[in-house]
Homo-oligomer: A and B are copies of this chain.
Amino acid sequence: MSGNAHSAAPVLPAQGRLRPLDLRDVEITGGFWGERQSINGAATLRHIEHWLEREGWIRNFDLTANGGDPVERRGREFSDSEVYKFLEAMAWEIGRTDDAELESRFRAIVRRVGAAQQPDGYLNTRFGRPGQAPRWSDLEWGHELYCVGHLLQAAVARVRTRPDADDGLLDIACRAADNVCRTFGRDGIDSVCGHAEIETALVEFARATGQERYLTQAALFVDRRGHGRLADVEFGREYFQDDQPVRQATVLRGHAVRANYLAAGAVDVAVEVKDAGLLDAVRGQWRNTVSRRTYVTGGQGSRHQDEAFGGDWMLPPDRAYSETCAGIGSVMLAWRLLLADGDPRYADLIERTLFNVVSTSPAADGQSFFYTNTLHRRELGTTPDTDRPSLRAAASLRAPWFEVSCCPTNVARTLASLSAYVATCDDDGLQVHQYLTGTVEQHLADGRSRRVHITTEYPYDGQIRVRVDSDDEHPWSLSLRVPGWADQGATVTLDGVARPVAPGVFTEHRAWRRGDEMVLRLPMAPRFVHPDSRIDAVRGCVAVERGPLVYALESVDVPGVASVDDLRVDVTRPPRLRDGQVLVRCRQVRGQEHDWPYRADAAESAPVPVDEFDDVPLVPYHAWANRGPSTMRVWLPTDTALREPAPGQP
């Protein structure tokens, strides 16, 4: 069967409704994601290594190994984790491409990391040496366990793609994990890390090594959190989810990356130890988070101050934080829930988040990134410095590196392992969740295999052609996800007959023969979407979507208009598609100038029509900010106010 401990996949649960496939059995051969995966391997990895060296974050390990002066250490307290995430990205990429040169770079860094490990397994360049703060002395902010978590994930990626490698990474990880178990075990320090990550990492490490003690430790960390073991910080204990036990919480809250990582770890634990109550708690948290605390892009986290979720319905488009890493964390969580439950809504969110958050972060050349992903940019902003790290949310354009640079390495490891999220299998057959050009294969225990080839121009075209590439006289099920947004006009064509299909999963069970085809056609007319009436910040606005893509209005596309904020979209005329471009009709308005912007006479507040534009082009949100500084809106005010008497007027 697939999904055993020796598959190459980031997540291999012992049980669940669906099983992951080996990455090597899913090949992305081109198109939207193929291109991004290639650029990631060809350019982003080298770009990351350049900056890790340049900023001294790898050299920190040398410094520790050589007993150098701790004041020379550079970077923030969590910079070790970027090196580990880079190792993880490289490991997946080596598994995907067999790149010998990358393999040698990988080994070189592993050696430098390993040299910094203390005899008892402790490994961190920021704590524990003379002249540094003692080990585990700052669990709130120190990120030591978080760093170990990413080390373990790098080792998992490596051991699953190169189980026989003698590079030493697995040993380093085992010693570090054992040190954690000794230090934080039942009789050890009774606390948790301010940034969740060790939980999901320990479970996966347990799965990869077969060592139950790592799972036990992960379960202990999950249970400990939420009881106020961490100090009360300025942002409150909800910042690191220490306000409420995981199994009592009803929604994700606090720092959006931490919240998602913790929830992912809780699912891992729940699945492994068959804790139905814990799993159900996270399921409920996910439902409430998605229905009330998630941006239309799939982005999560609305607050700059603490990189946190706001309360329900607090989803301001301007200053939306929507950190790239929170999007990745959300994909991690949804993927684990999808494996556990099989519910296609998890895959819906993964699709939305991959296309509109994860793919928005890297520039086309893979060498600059968004850290935050705002949905409204009012001012042009400045071009980020290419010669030094940027502040995370400072510029309106993508930046090559950040002082807190979690996002580039997170994007890199996600793109390198993207095949993991495309399809699953169960005893009955194959389920395709994400649509891209490539092949998906399920190897059966008896040597048979089920294989399909997918051809599509998705997300720009709605036709997804799935051709069976294997022969098997036994019938099996081929399932395709019909996305939630495709609730009007989706069809599946089988044996030349098209039939309407509703959002959810369409499954055909038959004895598939090589060359059999199932064609899914999704409705690709651009559409307006309307926000829930409780989202105050976008009242009176619509967004535009086409397929899984959210669109944006960018100022470079309306050169005659001073600001995108001066446009009102005509919602009586649906968005149109012309030559692949999505177009909307807009009225240009100007605000009235008054000394004081709040008027008893509604007419004095109403915008004044200036001009009309029949064909205002929108860009896919993921492609915005690629043509120099610009202003941008995802949520477009409608022109209702222009066509109707203003409120309070006769």
Contact = CB atoms under 8 A, between A and B. Distances in A.
A313 B595 contact: no
Chain A contact residues: helix, strand, loop or mixed: loop
B600 A637 contact: no
Given A539-B541, A647-B542, A378 B311 contact: yes
Contacts of A527: 600
Interface string A287-316: 100111010100000011100001111101
Interface string A611-650: 0000000000000000000000000011011001011100
A414 to B, nearest CB: 23
A589 interface: yes
A600 B483 CA distance: 13
A316 B537 contact: yes
Interface residues of A, number: 78
Nearest to A635: B536
Contacts of A593: 291
A493 interface: no
Contacts of A304: 303-305
Contact of A319 (B236, B310, B348, B606): B310
A599 B318 contact: no
A199 to B, nearest CB: 27
Nearest to A647: B571
28 contacts: A287-B595, A291-B594, A294-B597, A303-B319, A311-B378, A311-B379, A313-B378, A314-B378, A318-B536, A487-B600, A528-B647, A529-B600, A530-B598, A530-B599, A530-B600, A530-B602, A530-B605, A530-B648, A532-B597, A533-B606, A533-B607, A534-B591, A535-B597, A536-B538, A536-B541, A545-B600, A640-B647, A644-B644
Interface of A: 234, 236, 287, 290-292, 294, 296, 303-305, 310-314, 316-319, 345, 348, 376, 378-379, 391, 394, 484-485, 487-488, 527-543, 545, 565, 571-572, 574, 589, 591-602, 604-607, 637-638, 640-641, 644, 646-648
The 7 closest A-B pairs by CB, nearest first: A532-B597, A530-B605, A533-B607, A305-B305, A571-B647, A539-B540, A304-B305
